[in-house]
């Protein structure tokens, strides 16, 4: 699993930062979290293929998180997309897109499943596949806002080739069947079970995405024991009153959330334009939670 920040600015873009958007890539497909202005260009620069985009997750309806959405959806229609696309977001997003469709400014020709989340007082599944699940939880902002969490399902243990050969399994298709969890019957009538050749199951990777929010218990729940917590750090601690007034967090707040959640790492993003150099925010956070890094646009973070 890889995380690719596509926009890290709060409120408005700058000459060096785009507004909120972030990709999570895995196994030849990817997910998009928020879609601020300029997201299409950043997606192209990141080398992400829109045809492999499986789902979009919008946190809330402030413009710096959705203004790039109509253009991206329309471009995929113009490019002849046929793969279904899921869009998850807060109440009102369907009405917004319906209005743009009526005005002929939105062009969607592919199967499009809009899933509004009217409330999320506890973690709830909003998107799932055989390999991973995405859950949502309501955060604390000036308007209804969602945070998201991606959890890969446990993966099979490592395949022991030597053990398989020792048990008489010929190289080829039977190896694959064992790796996928099937018993195989050998020509001599014996049966080899996956547990004979596979190590213990491996825990899947996990990522949480918490933008925009004041410090809250919901963010801790979203980030509980994740490998990577992506959290807004709009302001520094000396601007805490202003941060809370506008429904945001400081870098230290993000670090305390990561600490309380026992997250593996913390990725700071959503920086106010007051901080053209976000190193001050990184220093503030690392004093509380040492395993913290700054999001840099188009810079891949391995999970």
CA distance 270 to 197: 46
For 123-132, the CB contacts below 8 A with 24+ separation are 123/149, 123/221, 123/222, 126/57, 126/88, 127/55, 127/57, 127/86, 127/88, 129/54, 131/26, 131/27, 132/26, 132/204
What are residue 235's DSSP bridge partners? 250
Q: In angstroms, how far is CA 84 from the centroid of its own chain? A: 19
Main-chain dihedrals φ then ψ at residue 31, nearest 5 degrees: -120, 145
Marked catalytic residue, from 34, 64, 151, 212: 64
227 is catalytic: no
In Å, how far from its chain's centre is CA 128?
13
What strands lie across the sheet with 301-302, from one edge to the other?
112-116, 85-89, 53-57, 29-35, 21-26, 2-7, 301-302
Q: How far apart are the first and last CA of the chain?
A: 5
Beta bridge partners of 88: 57, 115
DSSP 8-state code for residue 285: H
The residues annotated with a catalytic role in the active site are 64
């Amino acid at each position: 699993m890889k995380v690719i920040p596509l926009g890290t600015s709060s409120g408005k873009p700058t000459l060096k930062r785009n507004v909120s958007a972030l990709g999570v890539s895995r196994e030849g497909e990817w997910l998009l979290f928020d879609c601020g202005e300029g997201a299409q260009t950043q997606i192209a620069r990141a080398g992400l293929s829109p045809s492999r985009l499986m789902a979009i997750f919008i946190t809330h309806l402030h413009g710096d998180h959705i203004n790039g959405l109509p253009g991206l959806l329309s471009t995929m229609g113009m490019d002849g997309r046929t793969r279904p696309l899921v869009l998850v977001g807060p109440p009102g997003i369907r009405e917004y897109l319906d209005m743009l469709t009526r005005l002929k400014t939105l062009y969607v020709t592919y199967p499009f499943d809009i899933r509004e989340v009217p409330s999320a007082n506890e973690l709830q599944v909003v998107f799932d596949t055989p390999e991973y699940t995405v859950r949502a939880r309501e955060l604390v902002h000036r308007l209804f806002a969602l945070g998201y969490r991606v959890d890969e399902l446990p993966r099979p243990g490592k395949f022991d080739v030597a053990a398989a050969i020792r048990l008489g399994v010929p190289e080829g298709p039977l190896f694959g069947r064992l790796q996928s969890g099937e018993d195989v019957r050998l020509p001599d009538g014996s049966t080899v079970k996956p547990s004979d050749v596979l190590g213990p199951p491996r825990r899947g990777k996990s990522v949480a995405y918490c933008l925009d929010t004041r410090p809250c218990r919901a963010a801790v729940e979203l980030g509980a024991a994740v490998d990577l917590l992506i959290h807004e750090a709009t302001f520094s601690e000396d601007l805490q009153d202003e941060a809370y007034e506008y429904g945001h967090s400081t870098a230290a707040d993000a670090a305390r959330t990561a600490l309380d959640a026992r997250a593996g790492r913390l990725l700071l993003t959503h920086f106010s334009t007051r901080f053209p150099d976000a190193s001050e925010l990184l220093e503030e956070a690392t004093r509380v939670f040492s395993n913290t890094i700054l999001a840099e646009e188009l810079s891949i973070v391995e999970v």
